[in-house]
Amino acid sequence: MKAGILLSVRAKATRLPDKVLKPLAGAPTVTEHLLRRLATAAEAAVVVLATSPDPRDDVLVYIAARVGLPAFRGSADDKLMRYRDAAIAHGLDFVVVVDGDDPFVSVEHIDRLIRHACAAEGDYFVFEGLPLGAAGFGLRTSALRVVCADRAESNTEVWGRFFADDPRFHCVRLAETDPRYARPDIRMTLDYPEDYVFFAAVAEGLAREGRDTSFGNIMDFLSRRPDVIAINQGVQEIYEQHLLKSAS
């Protein structure tokens, strides 16, 4: 089974303009930081930046090239079609989709998802119990082909439901029970100014301690800094309301 990682990212944010182009953790942009992080995955044959043909996304393709990773430009609005076409273009049987809003995603858990998919049946794989934004989502390319072939709806901004709510697909939900990582109360996704302040505070705190932003180091730091966790907790309800509207 050939597995890869798709970084799903576009430069069209409205709540926090240019969020994926902001500096983070010593990298010139969030996107570069995330691409370099994903490139350390041991189980992925390739990391692909998956974006759109929109000229605003040219800068993302440039960033991928600078890092030495390929980019794929697919459907601007239909994420699932973009993922399907990127997977096919790179000959991938399985992909882990990572959102460009999630710069602290756990590469360790991405590798675990891929290993599990190699050993078990399933179409859609996800870890539950991690902080919001720490998990990628695993998909068989065969399932992407099916879901793109026969659905009338093209609004795939929130796309997990197309697998979770369809009995044709076998969804595998892996539970994280390690108390170091099982912290669903922590918000690690970049949508609002408070989120960026949170990410910057973690990166700066780890730098002062002489440690990198590996997931283990991040979680150890946050276990000692409830004040940092609190920075962006107030926007979670707003975010959840946005998700409900996007899915409706």
Question: Are 188 and 104 contacting, i.e. CB atoms less than 8 angstroms apart?
Answer: yes
- pLDDT tens-digit map of 86-126: 999 999 999 999 999 999 999 999 999 999 999 999 999 99
Task: Please tell me the pTM assigned to this model.
Answer: 0.94
> What CATH number matches the domain at 3-188, 3.40.50.2020, 3.20.20.10, 3.90.550.10, 3.40.50.300?
3.90.550.10
Domain edges within the chain: 3-188
Q: Which amino acid is at 122?
A: G
Question: Residue 247 pLDDT more than 60?
Answer: no
Partners of 171 in the β-ladder: 124
- pLDDT tens-digit map of 120-177: 999 999 999 999 999 999 999 999 999 999 877 677 888 999 999 999 999 999 999 9
133 Cβ contact list (under 8 Å, min separation 6): 99, 101, 102, 104, 105, 187, 188, 189, 190
